[in-house]
Structures are given as C-alpha cells and as structure tokens.
A = this chain, B = another copy of it.
Amino acid sequence: MEIINGGVCAAEGFVANGVHCGIRKNKTKRDLSLIFSEVPANAASVYTTNLVKGAPLTVTKQHLADGKAQAIICNSGNANTCNADGIEIAEGMCELVAEAMDIKAEDVVVASTGVIGQPLSLDPIMAGMEELTEGLGKHSDLAAEGIMTTDTRMKEIAVSFEIDGVTCKIGGIAKGSGMIHPNMATMLVFITTDTAISSEMLQKALSSDIQSTFNMVSVDGDTSTNDMVTILANGMAGNKEIAAEGEAFDIFMKALNTVTVYLCRCIAGDGEGATKLLECNVSGAGDLTTAKTVAKSVICSSLLKAAMFGADANWGRVLCAIGYSGADVDVHKVDVSFKSAKGEITVCINGAGVEFSEELAKEILLEKEIEIQVGLNSGDASATAWGCDLTYDYVKINGDYRT
C-alpha cells in the first residue's frame, strides 16, 4: 500500500470541483462542491444518530436505498436542518445536479453543513451549477475546500493497493472542526474508490471501519445533526468484484482504514480552536468496549483538554476521566504516560502518582501531537481515540459563530 496524491479524485473515473456560489457572503471561500463518477458506482453511507437530522440526510438515505450513486453534491455555510422546506431544497439540489450531468436525481447524494435553522435558498446553487459542472476535473482540493466550515486546513488523502495483481485506489476528503462527537455515525466524509466491490460488502466495510475510526473522534462532545460518511466504488480498477469476505476484502478494509484513520487525525487535530492533536491509546483492557469507552472518555474531558492546552501534566484528570467513564476498570492497576516527538514520561503507576521531571513533561507536552498512553493491565484489548485541546479560540469561534 502506498500513499498517493489526488484525494477524492485519485481513483479511476472520479472528478470533482468546488466553487463559490454565494451561500457564504465571503467570496474568497468556496461553498459548493461536486464529486462525480464517470460510471454509476456502488455506494454505502452511515449517518448521525442524532434524532434531529439534517434534511439532506433523509434525502440521501432514500437515494441510496438501491446501493447506487454517481454524484455527491455538498454545500457549506448552511446545514439545511430544522427548516420547514428542508427536504424540498435538498431534493432540488439533487435535481439541479441530475439535469446538469444527465443522470437520475436518485443517483445523487446530497449533504449540507453550516448553521442550523436558517432557510437555504436554491438560487445561489442554481446560479453556481454551470461553473461547478463545467470545471469538473481532478480537483479534489477544490472540493475539499468547498465543504470546509471553521476548518483551517483541507483534509484529503489517497492510497493505492493491489488486489489479485490489479492496482486499486481509494481516497477521501473530510470536513470537521466543531460539533464533532460522532456516535454510531460520523462527520462529513466522502470517499471514492475504483475497487470493484458489491454494495453489500461496501456497506459492511464502512460500517465496520467507522467503529474504530470516526466514532473514536471527539472535538467537543456535541454529536452533529448532519454527520455522514459516504463511499462510492465505481469498479473501474478492473479487479474481480469483492462479493464476500476473504483476502481481497481484508486488503480493501486495510486501505479504507488507512484513509479513515488519516482523516480522523486531520479532523481531531483541526478541531475548532485546537493547537494540539490528542491521541489516547488504551491497552491491557479486559475487552474492546472497555478499551474504547476509556479512550473516548479521556479525550472528551474538558479538564484534560484544557490541561493539554497549557502543557500541564495533570494526570489526575486522566484518572478522573477513566473513573467516570462507566467502564468496569480496576483503578488500582492503571498506568499512565505522556508521549510525543520529545520522548515519553510515566506519571502514574498502579493508580498512584510517581515522581517525574516536570521539565521533561512540559517539553513533551509542548509538542503539537500528544499521545496519552493508558495501561489497564487487565487483559489484551486495546483502542485509540482522537481529540484536541480546549483553547481560547474554541470559545471565541463558538461565542460568535452565527452572527
């Protein structure tokens, strides 16, 4: 497996574009993206578990009932959620794409991200459709920019891999930043692959993968109303279609996981206001659920997040978060260490503090990527969760996001 350029356009037959159509007032920020496959693709998707669901998710669910899609349209700047005419607008977006690309509206996936509860007009989308579709090409970067909200960096990746001697590619783009606490579903992520794989196996791969990737990310504990990951597989790589579990499926899963883990780290590290990526690695758990519960509880702790912002080795907050996680843990067996490019320092053994160099701890925690290593010493299961620090800028961004 090899990391390659091209993001969501790396796979054969996929093109994309992103333009400014006017949903946002800021003309320098693209606000409408389109991803298109030259041929119909198998599709799979997972959605937020929030009971308040964006209208685009409802429409997409209907359109993906047959496991097929050919295009993904997504705007930023408005979530099209909690609007009386939301469904109509989301359907309208699909129809505009269908007309422009000469495909069926039912083969279009639609997504929106931005402020909740403000009416979304079709006018700017209609006005921007010509520029959007005429400019389609290997422009993953423009599409990645068009779906950004408070993100500060584009998030894209692609890898190539071989199945039975055939080169396949898979790539994705993501937006993250705030309202990030995926639960059984996840954020806005679009993945494309030219691997031939049945809709059933594609859904199985995606639903399985997100349990240890996007569902293990949290920026602020708020599960969004518009979370969605969609994957399109157009089969243009020419491999024998993956229609069951086996070696080929395993290879595909591994490639998919490389893409999703990378995007998870991008989303967490570019959380609203974040200055640091936090990764909590839990090992020695009695079972996987315990490991995941503990890891996620640690990276969700506001107190620990603020301590990490201050590069303060306040490990008591790690213990505290383990203790209230709800997982069945023997707290007298817990070891904790902090690790970064500057080294690793053990701060707690068997649930009690040990003497350590505050200077070295500070040096380690001043890095941009911090690993919090938790050993439970009660079994073989392990899990990883990703988050970010809590900063002044998180408060600033969210104190006046809407106005």
- Quote the shortest CB–CB distance from A358 to chain B (angstroms): 7
Identity of the chain B residue whose Cβ is nearest the Cβ of A400 in the assembled complex? B310
- A230-254 CB mask vs B (1 if < 8 Å, else 0) is 0000000000000000000000000
B302 close to A221 (CB less than 8 A) = yes
Chain B residues with CB below 8 A from A390, complex form: 395, 398
A257 at the interface (CB under 8 A from B): no
A38-76 interface bits toward B, Cβ cutoff 8 Å, 1 = contact, 0 = none: 000000000011111100000000000000000000000
- Pair B351/A321 contact, Cβ less than 8 Å: no
With A50-B324, A220-B303, A329-B51 known as contacts, the answer to whether A312 contacts B403 (CB < 8 A) is: yes
A223 in the interface (beta carbon within 8 A): yes
Judged by a CB distance under 8 angstroms, whether A82 is at the interface is yes
Kindly list chain B residues whose C-beta atoms are within 8 Å of the C-beta of A331: 51-52
Cα distance A315–B115 in the bound complex, in angstroms: 10
Given known contacts A51-B331, A394-B306, A83 and B353 CB-to-CB distance under 8 angstroms? yes
User: How many copies of this kind of chain does the complex include?
Assistant: 2
Q: How far is the CB of A114 from chain B (nearest CB, A)?
A: 10
Considering only residues 381-403 of chain A, those with a C-beta below 8 Å from chain B are 390-392, 394-403
Chain A, interface size: which category? 35 or more
Q: Given contact pairs A52-B320, A116-B319, enumerate 11 new A-B contacts (beta carbons under 8 Å).
A: A53-B323, A79-B316, A82-B316, A83-B353, A115-B316, A119-B353, A181-B324, A223-B320, A310-B400, A314-B402, A358-B403
Which residues from chain A sit less than 8 Å from chain B, CB to CB?
48-53, 79, 81-84, 115-119, 178-179, 181, 183, 220-225, 300-303, 306-307, 309-310, 312-317, 319-324, 329, 331, 348, 351-353, 358, 390-392, 394-403
